[in-house]
Amino acid sequence: QLQLVESGGGLVQAGGSLTLSCRASGRGFSSYSLAWFRQAPGLEREFVAAINWVGGTTIYADSLKGRFTISREDAKETVYLQMNSLKPEDTAVYYCAAVPKPHYSTEITWYDYWGQGTQVTVSS
C-alpha cells in the first residue's frame, strides 16, 4: 500500500513557475514508477509526465516537453513536477500516481495508487 499526498499548487500568473511535490508514505517507494496527470474542468484526465523506478528514464506529453520536468528523490519518498512558462491552459487539478512496476505508462489504468490532487490555476 502507498499513500500519496500532493502539494505546491496555487495561483500563478501566465509565464510563471510552480513546483508540485507528491510525498508518499508506505513501503518500497524506490520500487515504484511514478507519474503526474492533470484534469481540467469538463475534460478527461490526461497524462503529463512519468519517471521509472530506476529514476533515469522520463517521458512527457508532447505538448509539455521543454516546460515541465519530473524528478524523484527516493530518500524523501517524493516525486516532483517543475512547471515553467505556465499558460492559462495549464489550469487543472494535478494528480500524482504510482505503480509497483519498473516501467511507466501514459495510461491512467496502469497506475494503482493516486493522490487527491492539487489545484493549479494560471491567470492570464
Helix, strand or coil for residue 64? helix
- What's residue 55's pLDDT? 60
Give the separation between CA 12 and CA 18, rounded to whole angstroms.
Answer: 8
- What's residue 54's pLDDT? 72
- What's residue 1's pLDDT? 85
Give the separation between CA 3 and CA 25, rounded to whole angstroms.
Answer: 5
**Mean pLDDT of successive 10-residue segments in the chain (124 residues)?**
96 98 92 96 97 86 94 95 97 97 96 98 97
- What's residue 65's pLDDT? 83
